[in-house]
Homo-oligomer: A and B are copies of this chain.
Amino acid sequence: MASLHAGPEPGAARTSAKAKAKPAGSAGVAAGRRSVNATSAESRLGELKRRLQEVHDIASAGAVLGWDQATYMPKGGASARARQGASLSRLAHQRFTDAAVGKLLDGLMVHAKSLPEDSDDACLIRVVRRQYDKAVKVPAEFVSRREEVASASYDAWTRARPANDFAAMRPFLERMLDFSREYARYLGPYDHIADPLIDDLDDGMTVASVRALFDALRAELVPIVRAIAEQPLADDSCLRRRFPEAQQLKFSVGVIRRFGYDFDRGRLDKTHHPFCTRLASGDVRITTRVKENDLGDALFSTLHEAGHALYEQGVAPALDGMPLGGGTSMGVHESQSRLWENLVGRSRGFWEHFYPELRQAFPEQLKGVPLETFYRAINKVERSLIRTDADEVTYNLHVMLRFGLELDLLEGRLKVKDLPEAWRARFKSDLGLEPPDDRDGCLQDVHWYAGGIGGAFQSYTIGNILSAQLYAAAVEAHPEIFQEMSRGEFGTLRAWLGENLYRHGRKFKPDEVVRRATGKAMTIEPYIAYLRGKYGEPYELPPRRA
């Protein structure tokens, strides 16, 4: 389908196989008139793309500022950086919401209908129309104000979390909550105040649909978690020895190179909170963190972020610099980080190949630790405090807890000042544990403090669900994926994901992407089957309810 992709030259004439196949009589009247219309549509589209590219450049510059802030910026740069980021956000917003963009879009709606529905240009016009109609509702001044506070809040959080100082974050969090509410109001009307926030990141989802999904999932997970909790814990002491940072990083880098992460078009650095950021099609960076007494932390964080990066690096180059150049939604994005981290990186087949390499990297530390012990250690199920460290089975309970608290905060039923207590109570009831402090309680995730409240956490569970659904479709099409993996090869899996998901970028909505790739709407079945298949082996699980 490569011929359907627009080239990098805005406005360049192109045809697609589908367009050519259309009966000529169905469109236009006289050749002369068609050509005039086509020219005017092409020049409009060229002008639209020129404007979009500028907006994209400003936003990408903002992403560079963000990466720099998280990696190498000296602390004296923080206040100016907040202002710079805010200025760029405001500018990008102003340029995007310029009335001329709306006029160009108006003038292109007819043209879009004449194009094959899945052509790059038709998708671009459709996606930009939707983004524009939302963006014009939000004042540029608001965008800038929120960005500036968010940057300062992020900066404060990097100090407040280690200091276990929720009081320092309370005023920031109150402002972030106000921003989230204000933002939702701009985008209203809505059924639930969180709906616009969810829709931003997981296009097409609402509080109601997420709740239904989470209820169904919770009903499946709770009996599994309960059953495992009654059985002996796996021994993961082999992961808690001293693993020097340099070797940890070297091993992780080796693995993600095998995944296909291209270091000529990216890099790996250390940050407080790991992330992946796209600065350009040829510049998709990831970060990780290292704990020398925890072998899993850097390794699985790196595989996770590399999964995000494979998606971004796999978007068709023709979509670069445009709003289509990037993953389609947070949930689908998270499906890729979780797929490479968990379904691949915590699988037995994967470690059949890589464990000997890992033992070579850490001969002393892993002496006398058989593969099976290691495999059980990295798949230990245990109710624990930290979401990002949580195992695959309990992970979603962490997400549901945050989702519930977010809704309470947004609805006004919970005050920011009462968040630490609410967190503790809910954690106790959902996970049976009491966080000893806020550092490992409600301060642990950066999202609320740097991004706002509402909309971000549901994506993690959607990602888990989709990771299994997409992986199942891939291995159904190519059962040899398993054999390749135990040889340390991932080409078939990556190619399938590239063809069915990555290259499309943001052309299609999440539900359409999932249907195209798997033939079905999103469903929890493959995920439950995966969990039961994997954890039904080391643990005794109760049968599924009918």
Contact = CB atoms under 8 A, between A and B. Distances in A.
A279 B80 contact: yes
Contacts of A105: none
A74 B266 contact: yes
Contacts of A297: none
A282 B77 contact: yes
A283 interface: yes
A282 B78 contact: yes
Interface in A44-98: 53-54, 57-58, 60-62, 64-65, 67-68, 72-81, 83-84, 86-88, 91
Contacts of A67: 68
Given A65-B64, A83-B321, A321-B83, A283 B57 contact: no
A104 B280 CA distance: 38
Interface string A309-321: 0000000000011
A57 B265 contact: no
Interface string A8-40: 000000000000000000000000000000000
Contacts of A42: none
Given A54-B87, A60-B80, A74 B283 contact: yes
Interface residues of A, number: 42
Contacts of A321: 80, 83
A282 B57 CA distance: 25
A264 interface: yes
A226 interface: no
Given A80-B282, A280-B77, A321-B80, A267 B72 contact: yes
A60 B64 CA distance: 12
A262 interface: yes
Contacts of A285: 74
B320 A76 contact: no
A263 interface: yes
A464 interface: no
A281 interface: yes
A332 to B, nearest CB: 23
A281 B65 contact: no
Contacts of A54: 87, 91
B264 A75 contact: yes
Q: Which of A53, A54, A60, A74 has the most CB of B within 10 A?
A: A74
A54 B90 CA distance: 10
Contact of A74 (B60, B74, B76, B264): B264
**This chain: how many copies in the complex?**
2
A280 B80 contact: yes
A87 B76 CA distance: 27
A347 B369 CA distance: 61
A35 to B, nearest CB: 29
A120 B86 CA distance: 26
Interface in A189-213: none
A391 to B, nearest CB: 33
Given A74-B267, A80-B320, A58 B91 contact: yes
Contacts of A83: 53, 57, 321
Contact of A57 (B75, B88, B280, B281): B88
Contacts of A266: 74, 76
Nearest to A144: B54
Nearest to A79: B282
A76 B285 CA distance: 11
A83 B187 CA distance: 32
A499 B489 CA distance: 64
A246 B265 CA distance: 28
A68 B64 contact: yes
Nearest to A57: B87
A84 B68 contact: no
A68 B280 CA distance: 13
29 contacts: A53-B87, A57-B87, A57-B88, A61-B65, A61-B84, A64-B65, A64-B68, A68-B68, A72-B267, A74-B283, A74-B285, A75-B282, A76-B262, A76-B264, A76-B280, A76-B281, A76-B282, A77-B279, A77-B282, A77-B283, A79-B280, A79-B282, A80-B280, A80-B282, A80-B283, A80-B320, A83-B321, A84-B280, A91-B91
Given A74-B265, A78-B282, 16 more contacts: A53-B87, A54-B91, A57-B84, A61-B65, A61-B88, A64-B64, A67-B68, A72-B72, A72-B267, A73-B283, A74-B266, A76-B282, A77-B282, A80-B280, A80-B321, A81-B280
